[in-house]
Amino acid sequence: MTALRSTFERARAEGRAALIGYLPSGFPTQAEGIALALAMVDAGVDIVEIGLPYSDPLMDGPTIQAAVHQSLTAGSTVAGVLDTVSAVSASGAPTLVMSYWNPIEHIGVEVFADRLHRAGGAGVITPDLTPEEASDWLAATDANGVSRVFLVAPSSTDERIASVSAVTDGFVYAASTMGVTGARASVGSGARELVARVRAVTDLPVAVGLGVSTGEQAAEVASYADGVIVGSAFIARILAAPGHAAAVTAVRELAVELAAGVRAPARSGF
């Protein structure tokens, strides 16, 4: 069993959802980003997503775009992303890369999968890769023991959900709403139904992202999903902090709130 799957199984045994936190690599700087990710883990985040900064982020909302721009301006590289993965995964938290497909294809799918494996990475989330175009990626990740995470959305047909689940071996990423990333006042109303539709075709863990920003929202999602994904809310607190020490404190406080949230609700749908 992979470390990623073991983390979901442990959370389920504890009667809760897993908490997944996202930060782009190199934000605000590489060293500070690593420290912030480790603070997230120390305060209750179970799994970490490290974003590979990309200049054409189709799904990213303004908050993540601002962080990615800062990272790219500072000279973020793929080597830096892998160094970040190595440092964060050493904490014991399964660490994934979130990347659009173009950078991976540019590097070479076999090369990227091999380098990620050597860095201790648990898997890769590819939001814009479709199952029909994933044959080379399936082979490369299988060869290197790297988990694959694909996305479904409320607009996905049952057939699309089945085809995505068939090529996923980490967890299914259920986007709670259509549109770009970003903290919202409420989580998309179709998220619960989407999770149920995914569970009808696979026993893989299902994690919900896009919009979660408070402990209350985390508790809502945790009542029916295996994982709660939070990104923009962490980034917003970092952007608002007057300095690194304040950013670490803000990230810790939010992680503690969210960790309490995923432990709060009565579980359903299992």
Cα 52 to chain center, whole Å? 12
What's the confidence (pLDDT) of residue 1?
Answer: 75
Pair 234, 40: CB distance under 8 Å = yes
The whole-angstrom separation of Cα 222 and Cα 208 is: 9
What's the confidence (pLDDT) of residue 57?
Answer: 66
What is the tens place of the pLDDT at every residue in 19-60? 999 999 999 999 999 999 999 999 999 999 999 998 876 777
Full strand arrangement of the beta sheet holding 172-175: 147-149, 123-125, 95-98, 47-51, 18-24, 227-230, 206-209, 172-175, 151-152
The whole-angstrom separation of Cα 193 and Cα 221 is: 11
47-84 burial: b if 16+ Cβ within 10 Å, else e: bbbbbbbbeebeebbebbbbbbebbbeeebebebbbbb
- Could you tell me the two tokens for 153? 């959305």
DSSP code, position 127: T
What's the confidence (pLDDT) of residue 177?
Answer: 58
Handedness of CA 59, 65, 71, 72 (dihedral sign): positive
Residue 191 burial by Cβ neighbours in a 10 Å radius (0-12, 13-18, 19+): buried
User: Domains, the chain, ranges and CATH?
Assistant: 3-262 (3.20.20.70)
- Could you tell me the two tokens for 2? 């992979």
Residues that are catalytic:
49, 60
The whole-angstrom separation of Cα 27 and Cα 49 is: 13
Which residues lie below 8 Å from residue 68, measured CB to CB, with a gap of 6+?
Answer: 24, 27, 51, 53, 54, 57, 60
Closest CA to 268 of 8, 6, 7, 12: 12
The whole-angstrom separation of Cα 36 and Cα 43 is: 11
- Residue ranges in the chain modelled with pLDDT below 50: 178-186, 269-270
Alpha-carbon distance values, 118 to 112, 121, 144, 170, 224 (Å): 10, 7, 9, 18, 34
